[in-house]
Chain A
Amino acid sequence: DTGVSQDPRHKITKRGQNVTFRCDPISEHNRLYWYRQTLGQGPEFLTYFQNEAQLEKSRLLSDRFSAERPKGSFSTLEIQRTEQGDSAMYLCASSSGYSGSYEQYFGPGTRLTVT
């Protein structure tokens, strides 16, 4: 396991469609984070899991967004009824709560374009 992986890397969808992204964290990491990043901005926190428990959700995460981490390993982020404003890079990161520094390791991101 060489790092955090995300799939797909790019997604183009039409407004109103549902999309689902997957994140596979570093295998021994118990914490997993989702962020959204638009051009020229830093990543914005969306949600965070410790093992399978979703511990925090940002107000940015509207009812159309849902994230899961069913077995405490990989996670999915689903966006329902996509809107053009959802176009962004969706980043996943993982960290080890046991290391003390909680340093987050990021995946390559999924670029979503809503047309």
Chain B
Amino acid sequence: KNQVEQSPQSLIILEGKNCTLQCNYTVSPFSNLRWYKQDTGRGPVSLTIMTFSENTKSNGRYTATLDADTKQSSLHITASQLSDSASYICVVRLNAGKSTFGDGTTLTVKP
């Protein structure tokens, strides 16, 4: 069982719609949580990074939330665009330095 679980595994939405991706983690002690966007055949690109004391962080149309008590994070995408089609990966970094990656949510935005 992965210590960082993401849901849904895949998602299809229409252009212009909003969506929310989920990340639940069990690893601890927690240092920070990051969301990455990975286009097909490319390396991941950082979207947001949050420490345990931060509840929300925005980057343009991307807003990440974090509840360190329930060990849940979400990534909300507003007014989706075709270019948002990608895999979104949640990564939890422990205080000891090790990072644990989720398997990602594959988002497809259709016109």
Contact between B102 and A106, CB atoms less than 8 A apart = no
B residues contacting A by CB (< 8 A) are 4, 31-32, 34, 36, 41-46, 49, 89, 91, 93, 97-99, 101-104, 106
B36: chain A residues at CB < 8 Å are 106
Cβ contact of A41, chosen from B32, B97, B103, cutoff 8 A? B103
A40 to B4, CA, bound (A): 15
How many cross-chain pairs have Cβ atoms below 8 Å apart between A and B?
49
Question: Which of B32, B44, B45, B93 has most A Cβ within 10 Å?
Answer: B44
- Given contacts A101-B49, A103-B49, A105-B46, whether A111 and B101 have CB atoms under 8 Å apart is no
Main SS class of interface, B:
strand
List residues of chain B with CB within 8 A of the CB of A70.
none
Q: Assess the B89–A42 pair: CB atoms within 8 A.
A: yes
| A109 adjacent to B41 (CB under 8 Å) | yes
Binding site for B on A (CB under 8 A): 4, 6, 40-45, 56, 89, 91, 93, 101-109, 111
Q: Provided the pairs A102-B97, A103-B49 are in contact, do residues A4 and B43 lie with their beta carbons within 8 angstroms?
A: yes
Once A40-B103, A43-B101, A44-B101 are accepted as A-B contacts, the answer to whether A109 and B42 lie under 8 Å apart by CB is yes
User: In the bound complex, do residue A108 and residue B42 qualify as a contact, i.e. CB atoms below 8 Å apart?
Assistant: yes
A43 / chain B contacts, CB cutoff of 8 Å: 44, 89, 101
Identify 25 residue pairs between A and B in the complex whose beta-carbon atoms are under 8 Å apart, listed by A's number: A4-B43, A6-B43, A40-B103, A40-B104, A40-B106, A42-B89, A42-B102, A42-B103, A42-B104, A43-B44, A44-B101, A45-B99, A45-B101, A56-B98, A89-B41, A91-B44, A101-B49, A102-B31, A102-B97, A103-B46, A103-B49, A104-B46, A106-B44, A109-B41, A109-B43
Contact yes or no, B99 A104, CB < 8 A = yes
For B102, list chain A residues within 8 Å (CB). Answer: 42
Residues of B within 8 A of A6 (CB): 43
